[in-house]
Structure 1
């Protein structure tokens, strides 16, 4: 399993770097859209959809909504509204995790898939087309990776206080603090690189790193509701697409909302 994880990461890492920084923009957006639709396919199981027909219908619904979002790509009001919906959803998810993580709700799970995946598509596509867009997309990925790495090592070294034992028993508050420290280092470097005001950008990135934890826990919660260990098996050793992008689905829309407020996005 470890060998598979390493091999998959070694292969996908350079491909991801090329895709974000140097691939033709339409190719990048096509791959992002494809990943979102695979994520929708995986999410359909969280909604209790088991038959091929119902799962395809759910994916087609998401595809239609993605196309609609693309149709209004240049409308700042639509962008702001979609990202605010994401913010509201992640606040709802936080309450759900805190109050009743074992409570299963099929309809809310289906709506959550829309509130998670559509804003991710909108956020990444808008970020990539902005000035310094590929670098902004790479930055938000690095921010999430740094938070994950910081959380992993801090959790292993100091982890004592369980964060969400009913959802993800291995996660600890010490790990969260380690993740925030890792994200802070990347944020300071990013403020220097993009010439943003350091304290404001650090605050934004800290919020993004914190909400990325909620994204991770939320996917874990939905998997537990339907008895799944992984969302899929498309990535050998890693599970499904959602298992790799769960934190990004929370981080990207909040980061894009911050960039909108920073007036980086049109």
Structure 2
């Protein structure tokens, strides 16, 4: 099943809106700079549409970097958090959203492109972009470092033998598998876009509480049976050192143009 077809997971985030905003990571500053450079069309303030904006994590970073940002988000509770940041938010799925003949210098998806149907979304994006406009797809991909990663992955695999999240361009652990092309690139090429991908790596440290709080804002955990979810959290907590863990964020950015 494609992620966008799993509506239970796609619509699970509202119950965790506050935790999502508090514990999900922000995007690396270099990634934000790359998006804003792509959005530069000569206009004094680039117009940006941020789709599946959630609590406005990417949208607020782009706004702070100088963009005029309109956010589209289907969940009312997530949208409410985004509005507290001064963002203009329209509540709708992208597939049903009324664009009202507006056009944009750049359309962004932060951690959200896998929740839209590309057969519907990509033609809509083409129509919404100004001539020379760009599409930016961004994902944070945070993994623990060292032995704790192996132990936490083993726990996740027992609770989610079917897998937990979309690939961010690797077929498995970096030390075992070769890098593979992100599936969005083939979708983009098939609909007439030219695209390239870049990665932005940063080292992080997280407390035990913050790491677990982040992990349990993902849809795979939000849609679990509550008892199993509590057991999974307890098992993970037992494997994380008292002083937290070191992690790496290999953030991915795909930039595309028509």
Q: What TM-score, normalized by structure 1, do the two folds share?
A: 0.28
More strand by share: 2
More helix by share: 1
